[in-house]
């Protein structure tokens, strides 16, 4: 039997409401109260630089007057402001004013017995002029219009938005400032900086990686759900006629939901390999992860970037989800808590008394390699993908309601992990990263699934975490945020508590679950994390992710102790490079990778024969020597 290649996570990065993902800093923000002083202060300093609260001169932190700052100084002077400007919070006015969101109010002027008379410029007349309008010339430029039936108009108006909180990037951080992002929609800005962060976190130069594989053995799998709906994407495209403005040449192509993959291929990697942009509502990251992991396991792909980038903090998108009743509005929270003013930081409450989910923006990318390439290059190990299972719900009454498909994905994921790691690992050293959307329906249905699966597999006190309590629901990127948090748990052994709830709701099925409202420091390491996602439309997915110490043991077994020792020596150097990038990024030097118009392939230099395609700039050729895999079907 041919053995499967193991898809190993060798790098990860991105940006969300908790900050930068690489170096585990976004995870650290989630458990900041439970960290030691050095780690806590490093993460706070990095956030302070991102937020523009402090600067860096000659490699040293300083305030805006030039006074040098120690890590302790930064925490003392800016700690409260940093914490207040991260995670879920009231929507910043850089997006829009939630108390006065722009609207259009329809009205009819002059609809009584007296005709409406207005003066206007001739060039502003509508085309065609309404049949009942009487147009009189005032001069060469202006006309007088008499409208017997009145005039329908739309006035600029401003209304209170019922939803006032979101998971936003750290206050003051501008993702577009990290590279030449002119006219890029915000989601694509997030895609560029997130993918670049992930790639640099590997500690390996991309040229070294690409020279080690064939050009078509690289894959990029990334997407988003809501496309790009701001002014520079589909939002501006769809609004242009109504606003009387022109469509730009970029709004249509840059609005496509394939762009989080396309931009990585075209401007970061220069890849000619496999590409895919798979969407499955809130499970989209896991859909892309499944495609990448399957291609690596089969040998079709040897290195892959997987991710999602979503920027849905747009008034129209919030309107849509709020009208469905899916979001936690201020009024619902006030009623739930019996207070006059809702806490904007406690809107997302997985498995507690809740009122809906909280919208968020995020970009999360990981770098996968097969085990042989990891050994060859000395790549670091942050975890590995066991399996990803995707199942639909069957017939549905409500397209947005949860359904039975998640029973299948969870059961298969746990059964698969048990087959690989054994009963004890699943029963005693596993963790669930819940979808945890913070809706009343989700807390019941998802917990019931977990509790039933735990009973079947003999699990008691199953740790359940829900990162949406901190960062909100970033739609396509949500499962990526669960993965990034799991990698942090593997490293630090701290399971983030659901701190936005006072207690687990009475209707939650929790007999065999351990849902904590405080951080939990594990006495023994977690071997496997189960990432669970329940997307609108019946898009259920569950993934198993193995911890680094488990992967190391697997590698040593497959390649032998001598080869593994040589690998560890290589890995030490790679880790030093990754640490150097992290240190630079903490001081604001992200060195974002963005190649616009560089390294274009001269198609006149491409050579093709019956066995190979050779591309200029690539060390290895693409193989055309295919066997007949259906040979048994021919006489």
Which residues are marked as active site?
A: 282, 435, 473
Detail the DSSP E strand segments found in 509-618. 513-514, 520-521, 528-535, 539-546, 607-608, 612-614
- The structure tokens listed for 389 are 């299972």
3-state secondary structure 47-74: HHHHCCCCEEECCEEECCCCCECCHHHH
The CA distances from residue 551 to 6, 304, 380, 430, in Å, are 9, 18, 11, 15
3-state secondary structure 433-491: ECCCCCCHHHHHHHHHHHHHHHHHCCCCCEEEECCHHHHCECHHHHHHHHHHHHHHHHH
The C-alpha atoms of residue 220 and residue 272 are separated, in whole angstroms, by: 10
Look at strands 88-90 and 165-167 and give their pairing.
Answer: antiparallel
Helix (H) or strand (E) holding 254: helix 251-255
Pick from 586, 453, 439, 452: nearest CA to 505: 439
The C-alpha atoms of residue 245 and residue 242 are separated, in whole angstroms, by: 8
Do the beta carbons of residue 496 and residue 467 sit within 8 Å?
A: yes
CB atoms within 10 A of CB 575: 14
Enumerate helices (H) and strands (E) in the chain, giving the number of each.
19, 26
Do the beta carbons of residue 408 and residue 460 sit within 8 Å?
A: no
């Amino acid at each position: 039997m041919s053995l499967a290649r193991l898809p190993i996570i060798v790098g990860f990065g991105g940006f969300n409401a908790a900050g930068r993902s690489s170096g585990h800093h976004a995870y650290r923000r989630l458990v900041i109260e439970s960290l030691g002083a050095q780690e806590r202060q490093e993460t706070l300093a990095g956030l302070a630089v991102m937020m523009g609260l402090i600067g860096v001169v000659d490699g040293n932190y300083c305030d805006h007057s030039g006074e040098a700052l120690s890590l302790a100084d930064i925490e003392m002077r800016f700690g409260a402001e940093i914490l207040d400007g991260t995670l879920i919070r009231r929507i910043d006015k850089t997006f829009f004013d939630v108390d006065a969101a722009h609207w259009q109010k329809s009205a009819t002027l002059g609809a009584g017995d007296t005709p409406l008379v207005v003066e206007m410029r001739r060039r502003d007349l509508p085309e065609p002029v309404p049949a009942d309008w009487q147009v009189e010339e005032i001069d060469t430029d202006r006309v007088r219009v008499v409208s017997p039936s009145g005039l329908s108009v739309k006035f600029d108006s401003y209304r209170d938005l019922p939803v006032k909180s979101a998971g936003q990037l750290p206050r003051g951080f501008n993702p577009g400032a990290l590279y030449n992002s002119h006219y890029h929609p915000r989601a694509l800005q997030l895609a560029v900086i997130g993918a670049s962060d992930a790639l640099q976190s590997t500690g390996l130069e991309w040229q070294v990686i690409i020279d080690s594989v064939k050009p078509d053995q690289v894959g990029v799998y990334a997407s988003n759900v809501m496309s790009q709906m701001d002014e520079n994407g589909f939002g501006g495209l769809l609004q242009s006629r109504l606003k009387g403005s022109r469509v730009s040449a970029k709004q249509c192509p840059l609005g496509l939901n394939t762009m989080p993959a396309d931009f990585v291929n075209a401007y970061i990697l220069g890849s000619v390999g496999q590409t895919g942009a798979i969407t499955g509502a809130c499970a989209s990251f896991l859909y892309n992860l499944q495609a990448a992991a399957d291609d690596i396991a089969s040998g079709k792909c040897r290195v892959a970037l997987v991710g999602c980038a979503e920027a849905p903090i747009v008034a129209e998108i919030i309107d849509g989800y709020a009208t469905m009743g899916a979001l936690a509005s201020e009024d619902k929270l006030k009623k739930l808590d019996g207070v006059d003013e809702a806490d904007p930081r406690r809107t997302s409450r997985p498995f507690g008394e809740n009122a809906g989910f909280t919208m968020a923006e995020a970009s999360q990318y990981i770098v996968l390699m097969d085990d042989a390439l990891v050994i060859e290059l000395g790549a670091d190990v942050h975890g590995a993908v066991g399996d990803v299972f995707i199942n639909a719900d069957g017939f549905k009454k409500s397209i947005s309601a949860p359904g039975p498909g998640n029973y299948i994905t969870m059961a298969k994921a746990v059964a698969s992990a048990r087959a690989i790691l054994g009963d004890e690992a699943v029963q005693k050293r596993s963790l669930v990263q819940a979808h945890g959307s913070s809706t009343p329906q989700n807390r019941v249905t998802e917990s019931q699934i977990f509790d039933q699966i735990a009973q079947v597999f003999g699990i008691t006190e199953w740790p359940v975490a829900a990162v949406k309590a901190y960062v909100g629901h970033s739609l396509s990127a949500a499962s990526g945020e669960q993965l990034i948090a799991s990698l942090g748990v593997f490293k630090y052994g701290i399971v983030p508590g659901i701190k936005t709830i006072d207690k687990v709701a009475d209707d939650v099925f929790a007999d065999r679950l351990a849902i904590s409202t405080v951080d939990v420091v594990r006495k023994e390491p977690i071997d496997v994390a189960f990432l669970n996602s329940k997307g609108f439309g019946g898009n259920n997915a569950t993934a198993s992710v193995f911890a680094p110490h488990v992967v190391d043991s697997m590698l040593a077994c497959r390649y032998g102790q001598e080869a593994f020792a040589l690998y560890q020596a290589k890995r030490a150097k790679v880790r030093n490079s990754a640490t150097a990038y992290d240190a630079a990024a903490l001081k604001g030097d992200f060195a974002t990778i963005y190649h616009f118009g560089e390294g274009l392939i001269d198609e006149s230099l491409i050579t093709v024969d019956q066995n190979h395609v050779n591309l200029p700039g690539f060390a290895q050729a693409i193989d055309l020597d295919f066997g007949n895999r259906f040979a048994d079907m021919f006489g």
